[in-house]
Amino acid sequence: MTELLTRNILNHISLSKKELDNFCDLFNHKKVLKKSFLLHEGEICKFEGFVTKGLFRVFHVDQNGFEQVLYFAQENWWITDIDSFTNKQPSQLYIQALEDSEVLLISKKDKEFAYINIPKIEKLFRVMTQKTHIALQRRMIDNLSKTADQRYIDFIKKYPNLFQRLTNLQIAAYLGISHEFLSKIRRKIASK
Protein backbone atom coordinates (compact mmCIF):
# COMPACT_ATOMS: atom_id res chain seq x y z
CA MET A 1 0.00 0.00 0.00
CA THR A 2 2.89 2.39 0.70
CA GLU A 3 5.15 1.27 -2.17
CA LEU A 4 4.09 4.17 -4.41
CA LEU A 5 4.48 6.61 -1.51
CA THR A 6 7.94 5.24 -0.78
CA ARG A 7 9.03 5.72 -4.40
CA ASN A 8 7.61 9.25 -4.42
CA ILE A 9 9.51 10.19 -1.25
CA LEU A 10 12.78 8.71 -2.52
CA ASN A 11 12.44 10.77 -5.71
CA HIS A 12 12.79 13.88 -3.53
CA ILE A 13 15.06 12.94 -0.61
CA SER A 14 17.14 10.08 0.81
CA LEU A 15 15.90 8.25 3.89
CA SER A 16 17.03 5.14 5.68
CA LYS A 17 14.69 2.13 5.63
CA LYS A 18 13.80 2.80 9.26
CA GLU A 19 13.06 6.49 8.64
CA LEU A 20 10.97 5.59 5.62
CA ASP A 21 9.00 2.93 7.52
CA ASN A 22 8.46 5.25 10.48
CA PHE A 23 7.17 8.01 8.23
CA CYS A 24 4.90 5.74 6.18
CA ASP A 25 3.43 4.33 9.41
CA LEU A 26 2.02 7.81 10.15
CA PHE A 27 -0.38 7.58 7.17
CA ASN A 28 -3.89 6.15 7.27
CA HIS A 29 -5.33 4.36 4.26
CA LYS A 30 -8.75 5.46 3.03
CA LYS A 31 -10.94 4.21 0.21
CA VAL A 32 -13.06 6.88 -1.45
CA LEU A 33 -15.90 5.93 -3.76
CA LYS A 34 -16.46 7.72 -7.06
CA LYS A 35 -18.28 11.06 -6.55
CA SER A 36 -17.56 11.02 -2.78
CA PHE A 37 -15.86 13.96 -1.11
CA LEU A 38 -12.70 14.03 1.00
CA LEU A 39 -13.32 17.69 1.78
CA HIS A 40 -16.25 20.13 1.51
CA GLU A 41 -16.11 23.90 1.40
CA GLY A 42 -16.39 25.28 4.95
CA GLU A 43 -14.69 22.33 6.63
CA ILE A 44 -11.22 22.49 8.15
CA CYS A 45 -8.84 20.36 6.08
CA LYS A 46 -7.21 17.98 8.56
CA PHE A 47 -5.03 16.02 6.15
CA GLU A 48 -2.48 15.96 3.42
CA GLY A 49 -3.15 13.05 1.13
CA PHE A 50 -1.17 10.92 -1.27
CA VAL A 51 -3.17 9.26 -4.04
CA THR A 52 -2.35 5.57 -4.49
CA LYS A 53 -5.26 4.71 -6.79
CA GLY A 54 -7.85 6.67 -8.71
CA LEU A 55 -8.40 10.31 -9.49
CA PHE A 56 -9.52 13.40 -7.57
CA ARG A 57 -10.40 16.94 -8.49
CA VAL A 58 -9.71 19.91 -6.24
CA PHE A 59 -12.11 22.71 -7.06
CA HIS A 60 -13.89 25.86 -5.93
CA VAL A 61 -17.46 26.93 -6.70
CA ASP A 62 -17.73 30.67 -7.41
CA GLN A 63 -20.63 32.95 -6.44
CA ASN A 64 -22.37 32.19 -9.76
CA GLY A 65 -22.22 28.44 -9.15
CA PHE A 66 -19.45 27.77 -11.67
CA GLU A 67 -16.85 25.18 -10.77
CA GLN A 68 -13.20 26.19 -11.08
CA VAL A 69 -10.80 23.26 -10.97
CA LEU A 70 -7.46 24.10 -9.37
CA TYR A 71 -5.96 20.73 -10.19
CA PHE A 72 -6.57 17.04 -10.70
CA ALA A 73 -4.69 14.51 -8.59
CA GLN A 74 -4.08 11.05 -9.96
CA GLU A 75 -1.87 8.25 -8.69
CA ASN A 76 1.43 9.48 -7.25
CA TRP A 77 0.07 13.02 -6.61
CA TRP A 78 -0.54 14.82 -3.34
CA ILE A 79 -3.83 16.49 -2.40
CA THR A 80 -4.87 18.95 0.29
CA ASP A 81 -6.20 22.43 0.86
CA ILE A 82 -2.87 23.82 2.04
CA ASP A 83 -4.40 27.08 3.31
CA SER A 84 -7.02 25.33 5.43
CA PHE A 85 -4.58 22.62 6.56
CA THR A 86 -1.85 25.07 7.57
CA ASN A 87 -3.95 27.89 9.01
CA LYS A 88 -6.89 25.85 10.38
CA GLN A 89 -9.27 28.06 8.38
CA PRO A 90 -12.51 26.86 6.78
CA SER A 91 -11.77 25.54 3.33
CA GLN A 92 -12.84 27.32 0.18
CA LEU A 93 -12.32 24.08 -1.74
CA TYR A 94 -13.90 20.73 -2.43
CA ILE A 95 -11.90 17.55 -2.96
CA GLN A 96 -13.91 14.90 -4.80
CA ALA A 97 -13.09 11.45 -6.17
CA LEU A 98 -13.75 11.17 -9.91
CA GLU A 99 -13.15 7.41 -9.78
CA ASP A 100 -13.15 4.82 -7.03
CA SER A 101 -9.93 5.86 -5.34
CA GLU A 102 -7.53 5.16 -2.50
CA VAL A 103 -5.47 7.69 -0.62
CA LEU A 104 -2.97 7.73 2.23
CA LEU A 105 -3.69 10.54 4.69
CA ILE A 106 -1.42 12.20 7.23
CA SER A 107 -2.71 14.55 9.92
CA LYS A 108 -1.12 17.87 10.85
CA LYS A 109 -0.15 16.42 14.25
CA ASP A 110 1.57 13.42 12.65
CA LYS A 111 3.28 15.61 10.06
CA GLU A 112 4.65 17.83 12.87
CA PHE A 113 5.73 14.68 14.72
CA ALA A 114 7.64 13.60 11.60
CA TYR A 115 9.32 17.01 11.32
CA ILE A 116 10.69 16.62 14.85
CA ASN A 117 11.54 12.90 14.79
CA ILE A 118 12.60 12.51 11.15
CA PRO A 119 14.12 15.91 10.30
CA LYS A 120 14.63 15.04 6.61
CA ILE A 121 10.84 15.05 6.21
CA GLU A 122 10.84 18.82 6.54
CA LYS A 123 13.11 18.95 3.47
CA LEU A 124 10.72 16.62 1.63
CA PHE A 125 7.78 18.95 2.11
CA ARG A 126 9.90 22.04 1.37
CA VAL A 127 10.99 20.55 -1.96
CA MET A 128 7.42 19.51 -2.82
CA THR A 129 6.09 22.95 -1.85
CA GLN A 130 8.65 24.61 -4.13
CA LYS A 131 7.66 22.36 -7.05
CA THR A 132 3.98 23.09 -6.43
CA HIS A 133 4.66 26.81 -6.28
CA ILE A 134 6.55 26.65 -9.59
CA ALA A 135 3.71 24.70 -11.25
CA LEU A 136 1.11 27.19 -10.00
CA GLN A 137 3.20 30.14 -11.15
CA ARG A 138 3.58 28.61 -14.62
CA ARG A 139 -0.17 27.93 -14.76
CA MET A 140 -0.94 31.53 -13.82
CA ILE A 141 1.38 32.84 -16.51
CA ASP A 142 -0.19 30.48 -19.08
CA ASN A 143 -3.70 31.61 -18.07
CA LEU A 144 -2.68 35.24 -18.51
CA SER A 145 -0.66 34.93 -21.69
CA LYS A 146 -2.02 32.00 -23.73
CA THR A 147 -5.26 31.57 -25.60
CA ALA A 148 -7.74 28.93 -24.51
CA ASP A 149 -6.77 26.91 -27.62
CA GLN A 150 -3.11 26.94 -26.58
CA ARG A 151 -3.95 26.01 -22.97
CA TYR A 152 -6.09 23.09 -24.17
CA ILE A 153 -3.34 21.77 -26.45
CA ASP A 154 -0.77 22.18 -23.65
CA PHE A 155 -3.06 20.28 -21.25
CA ILE A 156 -3.38 17.34 -23.67
CA LYS A 157 0.39 17.23 -24.23
CA LYS A 158 1.29 17.60 -20.55
CA TYR A 159 -1.28 15.14 -19.19
CA PRO A 160 -2.09 12.60 -21.95
CA ASN A 161 -3.15 9.85 -19.51
CA LEU A 162 -5.16 12.23 -17.37
CA PHE A 163 -6.85 13.74 -20.42
CA GLN A 164 -8.32 10.31 -21.26
CA ARG A 165 -9.88 9.97 -17.78
CA LEU A 166 -11.72 13.29 -17.70
CA THR A 167 -14.94 14.59 -19.19
CA ASN A 168 -14.99 17.67 -21.40
CA LEU A 169 -16.88 19.49 -18.65
CA GLN A 170 -14.08 18.77 -16.15
CA ILE A 171 -11.39 19.87 -18.59
CA ALA A 172 -13.31 23.08 -19.36
CA ALA A 173 -13.56 23.84 -15.61
CA TYR A 174 -9.79 23.40 -15.34
CA LEU A 175 -9.13 25.67 -18.33
CA GLY A 176 -11.56 28.31 -17.07
CA ILE A 177 -13.79 28.17 -20.12
CA SER A 178 -17.33 27.01 -20.84
CA HIS A 179 -18.08 23.49 -22.03
CA GLU A 180 -19.48 24.98 -25.24
CA PHE A 181 -16.30 26.96 -25.91
CA LEU A 182 -14.22 23.82 -25.36
CA SER A 183 -16.38 22.01 -27.94
CA LYS A 184 -15.63 24.79 -30.45
CA ILE A 185 -11.90 24.50 -29.73
CA ARG A 186 -12.00 20.74 -30.22
CA ARG A 187 -13.87 21.07 -33.53
CA LYS A 188 -11.41 23.71 -34.74
CA ILE A 189 -8.41 21.52 -33.86
CA ALA A 190 -10.01 18.43 -35.43
CA SER A 191 -10.62 20.29 -38.71
CA LYS A 192 -6.93 21.23 -39.09
Q: In angstroms, rounded to a whole number, what is the distance separating the alpha carbons of residues 170 and 158?
A: 16
Which residues, other chains included, contact 98 with Cβ-Cβ below 8 Å and sequence gap of 6+? 34, 35, 54, 55, 56, 57, 72, 165, 166, 170
Least confident of 21-25, 62-66, 116-120, 185-189: 185-189
Is 3-117 a domain of CATH 2.60.120.10? Answer: yes
pLDDT, position 188: 87
pTM over 0.85: yes
Over the stretch 90-112, which tens digit does the pLDDT of each residue have?
A: 999 999 999 999 999 999 999 99
Average pLDDT, the chain: 95
Each residue of 80-91: pLDDT tens digit?
999 999 999 999
